[in-house]
Structure 1
Amino acid sequence: MLVLEGVTRRFGAKAAVSGVDLAVAPGSFVGVIGRSGAGKSTLLRMVNRLVEPSEGVIRFGDRDVTALTGRALRDWRARCAMIFQQFNLVGRLDVLTNVLMGRLNAVPASRALVRLWSAEDKAIALAALEQFDIAGLAAERADRLSGGQQQRVAIARALVQEPDIILADEPIASLDPRNTRVVMDALRRINRHYGITVLCNLHSLDLARGCCDRLVGMAAGRVVFDGTPADLTDAAVRELYGLEAAEVLDAPPPAAVRFPAAAAGLAA
């Protein structure tokens, strides 16, 4: 169980996140929604400790995440994988090496620095790429791939960390509708097949309703909604999005992001 208690982050006089209390059950798929600037990205980055909380405690099981340092913090970041909007791949390196970077915490630093990956690590990385139908791109430079392909590589890199939690920060923000479907299918499959908890920041309300078990809505750094997609009424949307609510409510649902009860296979 991931638990946040009174978590706050201030930047100067401004509170980007303020007094968040949240409990996330293992194996759940939670969408974090709200306007730009609501504090969604800061919240996820505090869970991973890429941003330090100004106040409050983050716990995972009996571990105080906010107190971790050194090797223990590196271990936590391996168990709590991060997927970014802009992929964060090394463009000049091939796809397989980018995925193998997810194994850095599991191999001696001396081997990792000179890329002496074991046969087992290579097999794990290739298996992850195969799951997302991109094993054939293993030898390609990462910067030659499409946006959707790069994001699948980033997800494969997160998967080989063997994480308990995946934090996805607007993972489909720069993708077209087809690649949006492919990437969200990939995250949903990881969640259902492996039981990995997923926290995913999403701007699209219809996308969040279509793929998440639970929605957490943020406004001005605070959690103002926490419930199932069916619980998200028009009144709750107006509280979340303010003047943007009409635009969000009137947006046509993306045709490619309705998810069946069972995990869908990944598109090519």
Structure 2
Amino acid sequence: MLVVEGLTCRFGAKAAVDDASFQISPGGFVGVIGRSGAGKSTLLRTINRLVTPTQGRILFDGLDVTALRGKELRQWRARSAMIFQQFNLVGRLDVLTNVLMGRLATMPAWRSLSQIWPEQDKALAMSALEQFDIAALAAQRADQLSGGQQQRVAIARALVQQPDIILADEPIASLDPRNTKIVMDALLRINKHFGITVLCNLHSLDLARSYCDRLIGMAQGRVVFDGAPSALTDLVARELYDLEAADVMGGMPAPAPEGVPALGTAAAA
């Protein structure tokens, strides 16, 4: 259970996240929606502790995340895997090594520095790549891949962390419609097949309604909606998105996932 209590994160006089409170039960696929600048990215980065909160608490299964330091904080970041909009891969390294980076938190310092990967970690990384139909790309440099392929590598890296929760920060913002579906289907498979909680920032309301079982709406750093997608009426959505409403409600149609695709059935991008 993830519990956020009165979470506030200020940058100078501006509150990027303002007194946010909510709870997320294990195994949910929760979308965080809202216009640009609403505080969605800061919220996820604060939960992962890439950003230090100004006040409030983050609890996970009774663990006070806001109090963690040093080794305990590194362990939490492994348990709460981040997926970023711009992939955050090391372009000059091959795909397999990029995925193996997800195992760094479990390795002693000497192995981390020398990148001497245990055989079981290599097998785990290859298995993750196979699940997203990109095992054949293991030896390629990451910067030679398409955007959709790179994001699937980033998702595989998050999966080998064996996390309790995945925090996806606008994971499809730079992708075309075809790769958007591939990546969202991949996140849905992880959520359904492994029971891993997914908290995903999405700008498209159509996508959020199609893939998420719960939506948290933010405006000016505050949580202003929290409920099932069916409870988010067009009127509430227009109030939430303001001038951006036409873009998020009348843009690209989001094909609803047909059940949960089997692992290893992602299309090549």
TM bucket (normalised to shorter chain) is: over 0.9
| Aligned counterparts of 1:203 and 1:83: Cα–Cα separation in 2 | 15
Are the counterparts in 2 of residues 84 and 170 from structure 1 also a CA contact under 8 Å?
yes
- 1:168 maps to 168
C-alpha deviation, 1:246, in angstroms: 3.5
SS at match of 2:193: helix
CA contact (8 A) 1:169 1:201 kept: yes
Task: Indicate whether 1:159 and 2:159 are aligned.
Answer: yes
- Cα distance in 2 for residues equivalent to 1:191 and 1:37: 27
Query: Helix, strand or coil for the counterpart of 2:97?
Result: helix
1:252 and 1:163 map into 2 onto residues whose CA distance is 31
State the match for 2:260 in structure 1: 262
- Determine if the alignment matches structure 1 residue 39 to structure 2 residue 70: no
Q: Is residue 120 of structure 1 aligned with residue 120 of structure 2?
A: yes
Distance 2:93 2:252 in 1: 39
Equivalent position amino acid for 2:181 in 1: R
Mapped partners of 2:133, 2:252: distance in 1: 29
Deviation at 1:247, TM superposition (A): 3.7
CA deviations on 1:200-241 (whole Å, 9 max, x unpaired) are: 000111011100000100000001111111111012102211
* Offset, 1:195: 0.3
**Contact conserved, 2:204 with 2:249, CA < 8 A, in 1?**
no
Listed as ranges, the gaps of 5+ residues in structure 2 are none
Residue 253 (1) aligns with residue 253 (2): yes
Describe the SS at the equivalent of 1:59: strand
Superposed, which structure 2 residues align to 1:30-69 within 5 Å?
30-69=30-69
> Deviation digits for residues 74-95 of structure 1, max 9, x if unmatched?
0000000000000000000000
How many Å apart are 1:245 and its aligned residue? 2.0
The residue identity in structure 1 corresponding to 2:56 is G
Q: How does 1:72-221 map to 2 (within 5 A)?
A: 72-221=72-221
Distance in 2 (CA, whole Å) between partners of 1:224 and 1:156 is: 33
Quote the residue 1:244 is aligned against. 244
Q: CA deviation at 1:26?
A: 0.3
Alpha-carbon distance in 2 for matches of 1:250, 1:157:
33
CA distance in 2, matches of 1:170, 1:155: 13
Structure 2 residue 8 is the aligned partner of structure 1 residue 5: no
Distance (Å, rounded) in 2 between the aligned partners of 1:62 and 1:234: 37
Cα distance in 1, alignment partners of residues 58 and 243 from structure 2: 32
Q: Work out whether residues 17 and 42 of structure 2, in 8 Å CA contact, stay in contact via their aligned partners in 1.
A: yes
Task: Verify the 8 A CA contact 1:192 1:263 in the aligned structure 2.
Answer: no
Is the 2:172–2:180 Cα contact (8 Å) retained in structure 1? Answer: yes
Which residue number corresponds to residue 15 of structure 1? 15
Gapped runs of 5+ residues in structure 1?
Answer: none
The amino acid that maps onto 2:163 is P
- Aligned Cα root-mean-square deviation (Å): 1.0
**Residue 71 of structure 1: CA displacement?**
0.4
Output the CA distance in 2 between the equivalents of 1:117 and 1:128. 16
* 1:248 counterpart letter in structure 2: V
Q: Secondary structure at the match of 2:21?
A: strand
Per the normalisation by structure 2, the TM-score is: 0.96
- How many residue pairs align between the two structures? 266
